[in-house]
Amino acid sequence: MTDRAPGVAVGDEVEVVVGAVAHGGHCVARYEGQVVFVRHALPGELVRARVTELGGGSRFVRADAVEVLTASPDRTTPPCPWSGPGRCGGCDLQHVARPRQRELKADVVREQLARLAGLEVAVVVEPVTGDADGLGWRTRVEYAVDASGRAGLRRHRSHEVVRIDHCRIASEGVAGLDVTRREWPGSEAVDAVAPATGAPVAVPVGPRGSVPEDVPDVVERVEASWAGADGGGRLARDFGVAARGFWQVHPGAAATFVGAVMAGLDVRPGERALDLYSGVGLFSAALGEAVGPAGQVVAVEADRDATEHAERNLADLPWVLPVRARVDDAFGVPRRTSRGRRPHRGRRPVRSPMMPTRADVVVLDPPRTGAGPDVVREVAALGPRAVAYVACDPAALARDTRTLTEAGYRLASLRAFDAFPMTHHVECVAHLVPS
């Protein structure tokens, strides 16, 4: 990467008219024909933007709006003093009024589905209960620790640690741990967790992810209900989770997503369900209670710790089978590299005998990179009557939706949720059925 693109260099300031919002927490502008991805701006504004980075072989530049010359009516004063150009990189949208935040996220989801899946879909981003002002909701925060042993949050696209007083989107339980006011010698990070049940926990993370041996598990309570053609259902259950394990960071997210997934599946007693990327068993529990003893749920998860927790969390549902395996390995498809390419060498993949050859319903909750075309085609080959796809990245959702539509499915419904207020992130729950 060089420090100069045609016409501009890092540190230059240029005046641009800001265009549409784009995936990733910025808006698109142009300067002398060159694409400029501008953070801390809003569509329609005239801003002075400082170039922070050159990317894509100088085909585009990244920049921060350091001065607003003509403001959008949707602009507001950020509630956090650490939000803004050159500061904490955690919140992208604190300068945007809350209703407009959700509209921008809807625009991104709509654009990704149109561009990558060829689908024109009406999108409304729904709020999640528990964050009236968008602050104080995050129940899991990973702080970075600098060389002096003090904790803070990282600058955008940087390893540099910004020392803050406290995070404005952190929950009361996380804030009460006073992570940024304590010293953490020898640590590289600190995970702060405020579970639904029990006391908050601060876990120091050493080199190579090492943690103390006495880190306790935490308990998350989920109470969800849903309506459907089958009359609907309800889930009320505690889930044991490793303090550093995966769990939704918004206190209302887990129940919201369970309700959305189950409402669109209409799971029936005696059916066979497949829960992919199943974690500690959140969706598996709802599926297991719905199919009952005459049915079956196969839950596939790669993480050993999460699978062990799932076995304990679902012990009262013996017809739910947690399987520890990568999903692509379980299907017997070749692993792909981080860039989505198949490796040239490696052992011939073998399908797990635990994987069913057919399923009535399938739930996917993959990581940000998505499930990928090989896994998605295997899902379609099972012939499910309904597929629920939970996605934290709209681009990955759009790519995998396209693969499913090519395999004979259609998008029946899509709901989007503002589970990460003040940031550009958005969670989607899509339901697909045979065409």
Q: Which residues are catalytic?
A: 392
Question: 276 Cβ partners below 8 Å, 6+ apart?
Answer: 300, 327, 362, 363, 364, 365, 366, 371, 375, 379
Q: List alpha helices for 252-372, DSSP H.
A: 253-265, 282-291, 304-313, 327-331
Tokens of 280: 């500690």
Determine contact, residues 280/247, Cβ cutoff 8 Å.
Answer: yes
φ, ψ (nearest 5 deg) of residue 10: -55, 130
Query: What is the CA angle 26-119-43, rounded to 5?
Result: 25
- Three-state DSSP at 140 gives strand
Cα–Cα distance for residue pair 188/208, rounded to 1 Å: 9
- Please provide the DSSP assignment of 63-120 as one string: EEEEEEEE--TTB---S-TTBSTTSBSS-S-TTB-HHHHHHHHHHHHHHHHHHHH---
